[in-house]
Each structure stands twice: as C-alpha cells, then as structure tokens.
Amino acid sequence: MTDKTGGAAFPVVYGNANGISYKNEGMSLLDYFAGKALAGLCAEYSSQTTILESAVAPQAYRFAQTMLAERERIMEAQGD
C-alpha cells in the first residue's frame, strides 16, 4: 500500500495529443470507506431525532481504518 489512506479511490489519468498526462486522484480510499461507513451509521441512527456528529464521524473513520488494515492484510497474504 502506498500510504495510510489507501491511495486514490478513483484515480484517473488523462492524456492529450502531446503525450502529456494529467492525474486526478480524487478522494482517498480511506475517505471513500469512511463515507460508506457513515451512511450505514446514519441509517442506524435514523430513528433518533439527533445524531451526535462528533461521535459518528470519528467512528466512521475508525471503521474505514479497520477496513484498510484488513484489505492490506488480505493483499499481503495473496502476494499482491
């Protein structure tokens, strides 16, 4: 893995007629996983009138960090 964020979630490399490439990495894989976790957490709390953002956002990133660690473990086991 290139860094602790998992690298780019949706990397795009653009080229032109002169052979020059432009890279747009977009959001990190960590942010993407956190967003997915956040959606699930908010759905779970949807029956409550108040969601405590200061608790839910850090929890989403903890889930995302755990997902990245597991992803790295699996990739290492597969030899990737």
Contact 28, 8 (CB under 8 A): yes
Quote the DSSP letter at residue 25.
-
Among candidate residues 77, 70, 40, the one with its CA nearest the CA of residue 56: 40
Instruction: Note the pTM of the prediction, 2 decimals.
Output: 0.71
User: What residues does each domain of the chain span?
Assistant: 29-78
More confident residue, 54 or 75: 75
Quote the DSSP letter at residue 3.
S
Cα–Cα dist 38/32, whole Å? 10
pLDDT in tens, 17-69: 677 666 777 789 999 999 999 999 888 776 665 667 778 889 999 999 999 99
The values of phi and psi at residue 28, to 5°, are: -80, 160
pLDDT band at residue 1 using 50, 70 and 90 as cut-offs: very low
